[in-house]
Amino acid sequence: MYYTNWLVGLKNRACIRKANKTNSINWKSFMDIYNNNTASYHRNKSEHILNKLLWKKDYKIIKKIGEGTFSEVVKAQSLRDGKYYACKTMKQPISSLEQANNLREVQAMKRLNPHPNIIQLHELIFDKESGILSLVCELMEMNIYEFLRGRQKPLPESKVRHYMYQLCKSLDHMHSNGIFHRDVKPENILIKQDVLKLGDFGSCRSLYSKPPHTEYISTRWYRAPECLLTDGFYSHKMDMWSVGCVFYEIISFRPLFPGTNELDQVTKIHDVLGTPDSSLLQKFKQSRAMRFDFPPRKGSGISQLIPNCGAPSLSLLYQMLAYDPEERIGARGALGHAYFRELRLVERRADSLRRTLGTVEVGESSGTLSSVDHLWRTTRQSRRQHNMKHVAQPLIRRNTSRYPAELPKLTVSVPTHQITIPVSSVPALTISHQGSLPAIMSKTCHSRLAKQTDETRQSGFSNCYMPPVNRKRGGY
């Protein structure tokens, strides 16, 4: 540290001598060099302290991933299990562990974890001497912005639908737990092997907090009209507007409303959606000190910008980008839209398969949609192969006995991921599960009931029996 300080001072003295040798001193260039050297010194000092702190907690820094206004993220490897994690370090020093636990981001991650579409908090590291706070979270491959950057060929519709379904599930989980994000954008949506997770909860707010809220929240391109035209009078519906902007960007690879300032942002929204009715503008004016009058404009429409987009996706997109927040669709309503019908059927079939087999415990943290889809397709393929085998060998089937001595056992398992937070500063999470689903009667049972004789019906007895199967349901 002393050598670094001496080296920075040496560079600054060299700049002064060089400036004095010239006839005219360019003080602007001199101050830029001086400030850059000073900032570099403080940055190296903080990186040294962070490296030392993580090393004490058995972590080794691999490389720097990204940096924001309030934090920076590095890739770190655990020396205990060899796994890689994303370590997010706050730039602002924290005075105490109690203040660290009371941060909105920490509180939100504790409340929302575990969920398959929310970034999981692994460990909380706090150094009282330096005031450095680091959040050790699971490491993802990339964010949506990095995933879309440089792509030329459009994504398959199934992949777009899969991503948007997971994003809506993450927001539905947040809103059900009384939190809205306020900064949904491609940079905060992370993916890994087609699994999407929402992160960066530094701007989140309680759903029950009374407005006015902070005006300049969220990134401008994904800011809802009520955030632009009111003095902080907005709700959780602003998240759905941002989701609609992300939806369009995933389809077209370009932002929908790339405004250069606040007024240009509103203009670009009106160019596409048109100027809203005077009655709607009047509601915005009631909470705005300044007056605004927009010229009437029809708007080009979203369908003109993405002509190859299907009708179900366009319908959901228009409902997400409704100008009036009261008419805008919510996260729960979006999950029930016709655009996600196939994915809902896949989930129901997988849940039915789990309940029938009785070997997999259903929960919010058990697997992902991709593993569920793979499980269902594997089972369906095995049934097809079984049917084809009997069709190809009819003579052999006739010669065999009608009832085999023992049926083969079918074992299907789904990998589960357990989350542990070893640090005592992070309180244990408790998720209550209530209720159970009724037992499901198989198709074989119904077929046997259909073949019963009139005498059996009169007697009231049946040969089919299915024991009840209990299923835990993840509650919000």
- For the annotated catalytic residues, the residue numbers are 183
Residues in the chain: 476
CB atoms within 10 A of CB 161: 20
CB atoms within 10 A of CB 399: 6
Q: Residue 167: which of 111, 116, 208, 203 has the closest Cα?
A: 116
What phi, psi does 380 have (nearest 5°)? -65, -35
Beta strands in 368-410 (DSSP E): none
**8 Å CB contact between 474 and 363:** yes
Per DSSP bridges, beta strands 132-138 and 84-90 are: antiparallel
217 burial (CB, 10 Å; 0-12 / 13-18 / 19+) is middle
Q: How far is CA 351 from the centre of its chain?
A: 22
What phi, psi does 118 have (nearest 5°)? -125, 135
Half-sphere exposure of 126 (CA within 13 A, CB side): 19
Report how far residue 365's alpha carbon sits from residue 431's, in angstroms, rounded to the nearest whole number.
Answer: 11
